[in-house]
Amino acid sequence: MKRSPLVAVVIGIALVLYIYASSVRPTPAMKNAQASLTEQIQEALSNIKNSESPEAQMQGVLQMKSLADKYPQNADLQWNMGLFSVQSGQYQKAVNRFEKVVQLDDNRLEAHMQLALSYAALKDTSQARTTLSTLIEKSEGDMQNRAVTMLEKLK
């Protein structure tokens, strides 16, 4: 008679574990959506890089911007939009994008570097130095050397 409550508890725990595992495991639809997003990013980048006309390149940039607006938590989209902002001389937009990348993925060291470069382009040497100091602490090797060199130039 005392086994009944124990069996009920074991079944309850198994059910809770099953529900939890089902909710954290990506579903095929989630995997397809991620693959689809990756494909859309690649398509937009391809349109930008391989287009012969400025209009076609701009279409690719607009595709990428639309994706970045739709998926603001995607660090790759924010990264690419930041690079486009730098290429077009829109450094404040680049700062905003690279700050978002750093927020989403603090270990993406190149984002710290691009953020510092963007601050420097805006003549905000204080923020550039702060960002470089953080990068120096987080990095090693070539990245750290690049950050140290840039920091010395800003003094």
* CATH code (residue 139): 1.25.40.10
Query: In this structure, is residue 12 part of a structural domain?
Result: no
Nearest to 79 by CA among 101, 108, 64: 101
Amino acid, single-letter form, for residue 107: N
Query: For residues 94 and 114, is the Cβ–Cβ distance under 8 A?
Result: yes
- Per-residue model confidence (pLDDT) at position 34: 59
Question: Do 100 and 130 meet the contact criterion of CB atoms below 8 Å apart?
Answer: no
Statement: the pTM of the whole predicted model exceeds 0.85 = no
Place of tokens 């005392």: 2
Please list the pLDDT of the chain residue by residue as tens digits (155 residues).
456 666 666 676 766 566 666 555 555 555 555 568 889 999 888 888 887 888 888 888 899 999 999 999 999 999 999 999 999 999 999 999 999 999 999 999 999 999 999 999 999 999 999 999 999 999 999 999 999 999 999 98
Number of domains in the chain: 1
Residue 47 lies in a domain: no
Strands (E), 2-153: none
- pLDDT of 16 reads 58
Residue 99 sits in which domain range?
Answer: 75-155
